[in-house]
Structure 1
Amino acid sequence: MGIISYLATASEGGFHLNFDILETNIINLAIIIGVLYVYGSKFIGNILETRKSKIVADLEDAENRAKKAQEALTKAQKDLEQAQAQAAKIREDAKVAAEKTKQDILAKGRDEVEKLKASAVKELSTEQAKVITELKRRVAELALAKVEAQLRSDLDESAQAKLVDRSIAQLGGGA
């Protein structure tokens, strides 16, 4: 009955709550906990269950995103390795192509040099033949000029006329 006496006051003759903290703290706390348990357990339980479900869903979503990120990272690493291998192949192909082009250019250069040498030799031979022909012609002209000059000086007009007549007779048109 001691607890009820704290709750009820004799002066008013009715039942009411005593809000004096020092006198009624344990009783008020028990009543509030009881009311919260009876009326608030479902409400708080629903809130906690909803929060728990949301946290679980967020964790699952985070795990899925982490798994997808790991898969994307693995794929990106494979793609990088393939790209590096392809780049190495392209570099090697470029080196081979450059070496082939170099050899082709050198071969063409050698062929061109050989053609130029052959052309120069041919041109030199042609020029040499022209020079020899020109020298022969000049030698013949000089020899004829010398013989003619010598003949003019050695022959007088009568001897020259006899020589011309004899030459004409030998050629078949004589008198």
Structure 2
Amino acid sequence: MIETLLFLAEAHSEVESGFGLNLDIFETNLINLTLLVGILVYFGKPVLSKILTERRSKIAEQIQAVEQKKKQAEVTLANEQKKLEEAKVIAAKIRSEATTNAQKAREAILAQGEKEVQRLREIAGKDLSSEQEKAIAQLRARVVALALEQARSQMDNMLNDDVQRKLIDRSIAKLGG
């Protein structure tokens, strides 16, 4: 449209000086570009400045929001690092307590094991003593049984009917007179 206006303006000025077409492309483009830039500057400056101002304010708001998020992230990071340090301290304390408890449990288990070994030794000693006494009692019973059997067999050989009569008569004599 601007080109049309320019073309008409040129044609009008040439009409006054004479009618003709300006076929010089460089000259007409330069005039067109100058007019176009001038119109854009005149009409576009307020629009462009408004767009740039809005863009600048949006960018400033975004920068502010990012800086605020950065500050919040730094605070959160500091808090989390503090929590991490506290967790490390607690973990060290738990490890220390676990080591202490493990040592106490080990000592208690060793003491219990020692008591159990002592108890088993006592039981084994008692069992050994009672088995020894049983064996001695069995041997005594066997010796007595063998002695009685041998004495009986000797008595049977020694006490025949004649010897028994003599023994009875002697006993009666001592008793009765």
Normalising by structure 1, we get a TM-score of: 0.69
Cα distance, 1:102 vs structure 2: 2.0
Gaps of 5+ in 1: 1-6
Q: Alpha-carbon deviations, 1:153-175, whole Å to 9, x = none?
A: 334323224446777999x9x9x
Task: Tell me the distance in 1 between the aligned counterparts of 2:66 and 2:99.
Answer: 48
Q: Which residue of 2 aligns with 1:108?
A: 112
Report whether the alignment pairs 1:62 with 2:90: no
Residues 73-123 of structure 1 show CA distances to partners (whole Å, capped at 9, x for unaligned) of: 222222222232232233223222322322232222222212211111111
Following TM superposition, by how much is the alpha carbon of 1:145 offset from its aligned partner in structure 2, in angstroms? 2.6
Q: Give how far 1:24 is off.
A: 10
More helix by share: 2
Show the counterpart of 2:134: 130
Matched, 1:12 2:12: no
Indicate the structure whose relative CO is greater, using CA pairs within 8 Å and at least 6 residues apart.
2
2-structure distance, mates of 1:100, 1:148: 70
TM-score, normalising length: structure 2: 0.68
Structure 2 stretches of 5 or more lacking a match? 1-9
Q: Distance in 2 between matches of 1:103 and 1:33?
A: 96
Q: How many residues align?
A: 162
Cα root mean square deviation, aligned:
3.7
Instruction: Please give the alpha-carbon distance, in whole angstroms, between the structure 2 residues aligned to 1:19 and 1:146.
Output: 166
Structure-to-structure mapping, 1:157-172, within 5 angstroms: 157-163=161-167
Structure-1 separation of matches of 2:78 and 2:43: 53
Task: Report the residue type matching 1:113 in the other structure.
Answer: V
